[in-house]
Chain A
Amino acid sequence: MNDYLYDGTYSSLLGLIYTLIKSKTIPNVIKREDEYISNLFMEPIYLKLENKELINSLKKEVSMLVLYTAYYIYLSNVNNKEMIIYGFIKNAIKYKNTVFYRRDIYVVSEAIRISNQVKGEAHRMKGFLRFKKMKNFYYATIEPTHNIIWIITRHFKDRLKDECWIIKDSKRGVYAIYDLKKVTYLQENDIIKLNLDLSDDETLFEDLWKTFFKTVAIKERENLKCQMNHAPKKYWNNMLEMEDL
């Protein structure tokens, strides 16, 4: 069994996994090349397989739902996610769409669980994200557990299509920039300096929001544990109304 490396993109991971499954090769481990810690005993194999034909033939064997599930796992922060995707796709080829009912198979149940976790965080973030109004655009900072910026931008593009906005994942140094036409993703190094001057009415509405948030709570029903269960503390940093708590 060998270690296999890929360049970090989803399509080359899929290409690699599909090649391994078709050639009946069982990998020891699959890792991004920049995350791989080399060891003395193993020479890793690096495959760059961003091959459209490969992906197309995989698409013929499994449904889009399977590929979406695999994509969500790919976005997760789980350590051995590549091996889970490998196991999941292998089972998906075998069982087709009934793979989703085969939770008796450990790797399948893990795959569904992790993908649901990523989807869940993406849904939460659609609510918890806060924009600040700058002079020229709306600006939000997020620090999600999973790499979900890629799957939440569509939501904001539909909603705020007539406003320019930027979402920054400060954990991963990724920016999603919407310019009224399309969303572009940039790395921290590619960004020219942003003008982060607040719009004139920003402090007024921030203050009104914090006021509303405090007023709407019913004192006789205080339940901080319940609050924390629904809005975990790890998100509070970027939730304006939690700042003074």
Chain B
Amino acid sequence: MTLKEKLIILSDSAKYDASCSSSGSTRRNSNGVGNAAYSGICHTFSSDGRCVSLLKILMTNACIFDCKYCINRRSNDVKRALFTPEEICEITMNFYKRNYIEGLFLSSGIIKSPDYTMEKIIETISLLRYKYHFNGYIHAKAIPGASEYLLKKLGKLVDRLSANIELPSDSSLKLLAPQKNVDKISTIMDTVKKNRSKSFTPAGQSTQMIIGASKETDLDILGKSEHLYNTYDLRRVFYSAYIPVNKDNLLPSIEMPPLVRENRLYQADWLLRFYNYKVDNLLDKNNPNFNVLIDPKADWALRHMEEFPKEINKASYYDLLKIPGIGPKSAKRIVSSRKYFKIEFKDLKKMGISLKRAKYFILCNGKYFTNMEIFNKRFIESNLILENKEPIKNVGVQLSLFNE
């Protein structure tokens, strides 16, 4: 098999992992090639609009597991390939020096045993770090069930580790990924959290959940994320809209991946991490799923009209964050600027703050944007919905997730 054929098989089967980030590490170029950029760098964007930052490949797509949703499951009749450590190093170094990539994202199917697979990953990355003196960004998958000493060894070599939860509840995991188990993933996360330092996964750990392959609600999923952020200091939880690559009675049959739902979950995830929201604020047992028509923050605001309008010149930082259209950057800008002058609507524009959504929810020096009559829930709601027509096209897909 040529290098090109291997690359096609082993990048094609790695692409469903949503993680692309190359940020959070300050690894320097001591004596060799490459360094990490703390902010991360996107090198290109593929035709699905996703950022390409790392050479995202599997070491092998052969796997002893048989997870129902996975294209690489044992029972699938697909072409299998295996990269040697040298081949991975060669491609990584040559891509990196041409500035195609920020580094390597190495994952793998499980061959022989979790320990054996981990050892192969460690061998590859050691070669890259010590023989090729590569100091660029490396994200590696931790293999569930591998020994702790191997995990500790790997953590010292890489910038980020991740172990994918894939399914948000134990029952779904048992059903769809019988060889995986939650405890093994929790053990990895716990070890990474306890050992994290400047020289051990400086960019922290992340995970991924598949959206729409099992029956969990948004509340279940986001509740899981909140728990993970609080318990294991995860840097990111990625959400990956389920794409039917296998036919299986246990899997939902859908035509299109639930992209709008995925987007809503990302928006809500941002609210948890940067906006001080709790899952309880956003969803509850009677409302366990996000409104597909409107983003979670605006939806929250519309359900809490009594909190608005907020006075730009007085509202606290956290109150400003509740205004649709105003994020941490804008809120900080407002707080630091209003010490020096009274902010008017015309100033907001100059401050680079978009009024498109915010205008319905704010006062500047006691004045509404236009007049008070527009401060009316139904009016605002219909305007906000009209403004983003695009997601509405996909609503049909959202509502028919399962053939019941």
Contact = CB atoms under 8 A, between A and B. Distances in A.
Contacts of B39: 123
A34 interface: no
A104 B7 contact: no
A93 to B, nearest CB: 16
A46 interface: no
B97 A133 contact: yes
Contact of B46 (A131, A201, A217, A220): A217
Interface in B38-58: 39, 41-53, 55-56
B350 A106 contact: yes
A131 to B, nearest CB: 5
B98 A113 contact: no
B256 A101 contact: no
A228 to B, nearest CB: 8
B98 A218 contact: no
Given A212-B11, A213-B52, A201 B94 contact: yes
Contact of A223 (B14, B48, B99, B136): B48
Interface of A is mostly: helix
A78 interface: no
Of all A-B residue pairs in the complex, the 9 with the closest CB atoms, nearest first, are A226-B49, A217-B46, A223-B49, A109-B350, A221-B48, A127-B43, A231-B45, A127-B41, A230-B45
19 contacts: A104-B343, A106-B350, A127-B41, A127-B42, A128-B44, A140-B99, A160-B33, A160-B97, A208-B3, A208-B91, A211-B7, A216-B12, A218-B16, A218-B243, A220-B243, A222-B47, A223-B48, A227-B48, A231-B44
Interface of B: 3-4, 7-8, 11-12, 14-16, 28-29, 32-35, 37, 39, 41-53, 55-56, 91, 94-95, 97-100, 102, 136, 241, 243, 256-257, 259, 333, 336-337, 339-341, 343-344, 347, 350-352
Interface string A198-211: 00010011011101
A189 interface: no
A159 interface: yes
Contacts of B29: 158-159, 161
Given A161-B29, A220-B256, A133 B98 contact: yes
A75 B35 CA distance: 26
Contacts of B339: 101
Contacts of B94: 201, 205, 208
B99 A221 contact: no
A153 B16 CA distance: 34
Name the prevailing secondary structure of the B interface residues. loop
Interface string A33-56: 000000000000000000000000
Contacts of B45: 226-227, 230-231
A241 B44 contact: yes
A61 interface: no
B81 to A, nearest CB: 13
Contact of A103 (B32, B47, B350): B350
Interface in A159-193: 159-163
Contacts of A213: 44, 46, 52
A224 interface: yes
A226 B35 CA distance: 29
Q: Which of A127, A158, A161, A241 has the most CB of B within 10 A?
A: A127
Given A213-B46, A221-B259, A231-B44, A129 B99 contact: yes
A218 B347 contact: no
Contact of B98 (A106, A205, A226): A205
Nearest to A126: B41
A32 interface: no
A98 interface: yes
A19 B324 CA distance: 46
Nearest to A124: B42
Interface centre among A104, A128, A201, A239, by most chain B C-beta atoms within 10 angstroms, is A104
A215 interface: yes
A215 B341 CA distance: 53
Given A208-B3, A227-B49, A230-B49, A163 B341 contact: no
